[in-house]
Amino acid sequence: MDKNSIFFNFHENVISKSQPKIMKYIGWSGLVVLKFNMKANEQIKSLVLDTMFPELKKKEKIFFIIKGNISLVSEMYKLYLKEYDAFNYLNVNEEFNLFSIDESILYMVSCDKANVLNEKSRFFNFKNDIEIRDLWGGQCLSRPYEGKNLTLVLFDLKPGFEFSDNGHSNEQITWLINGQMNFHVNKIQKKLNTENGVSIGPNCPHGGISDGAIGFDVFFPKREEKKYKGI
């Protein structure tokens, strides 16, 4: 697979336009980001996901909500999930159903090269359960979640915040859920907003300047540096 850094648009990668609308991006490492735009009273079943993405069956999946309210029903759980709630699906033998109570936006990250797991799933809220870390310095609030194979970071960049990274071997996919920023990688610069994202190639220098932005970074393999270790 091409390991060059690539900017992508979620709406150019629609794989299902109804019940619910599903958008997908697959990176060079096999890292997958799914975006679900759910109208009220739509559902996602784990069995359907396994059929659509057999390469991700029995692999770690992290689901997280940025808008709306969703009920999660399984043999073990009946929960109501709201903004910034997340669950790390690790019990691969447990079927579940996600039902949108109102209009909602849900993401899922996984990787086809992740280890096969069968453990108790983990539930958390990014803002209530994960402490703020100074990952880049300056006016940046970062909340890293350490999964079994993946690292997922919620970041909040203040206007004018600028950062530069020399690169790393992990694939990194970055996208925004609010605001915008100028992002550059391999001497290519584009404006990131809520419709697009970027996949960063191995050891590629990258950075940007924020106009005020909230978004996510997901890494595979997970980051091993101490500052990325979390719950």
Nearest to 60 by CA among 215, 221, 176: 221
137-142 LR contacts (CB < 8 Å, sep 24+): 137/163, 138/162, 138/163
User: DSSP H helical segments within the chain, as ranges?
Assistant: 46-52, 126-129
Sign of CA dihedral 211, 193, 172, 156: positive
Let me know if the fold of 13-126 is the same as that of 128-228. Answer: yes
Instruction: Determine the Cα–Cα distance for residues 70 and 66; give it in Å rounded to an integer.
Output: 11
| CATH for 128-228 (1.20.1090.10, 2.60.120.10, 1.10.1750.10, 3.50.50.60) | 2.60.120.10
Residue 231 pLDDT: 58
Q: What is the pLDDT of residue 118?
A: 86
Q: Is the dihedral of CA 19, 179, 67, 74 positive or negative?
A: positive
pLDDT at res. 29? 96
Each domain of the chain, given as residue ranges in start order, spans 13-126, 128-228
Q: What is the pLDDT of residue 33?
A: 98
Instruction: Give me the pLDDT at residue 98, please.
Output: 97
The yes or no reply on domain 13-126 and CATH 2.40.160.40 is no
What is the pLDDT at residue 177? 98
Backbone torsions φ then ψ of 54, nearest 5 degrees: -60, -25
Nearest-CA neighbor of 66 among 95, 97, 109, 96? 109
pTM more than 0.85: yes
Using 50 as the pLDDT threshold, list the residues of the chain that sit under it: none
How many beta carbons lie within 10 A of that of residue 70, not counting itself? 25
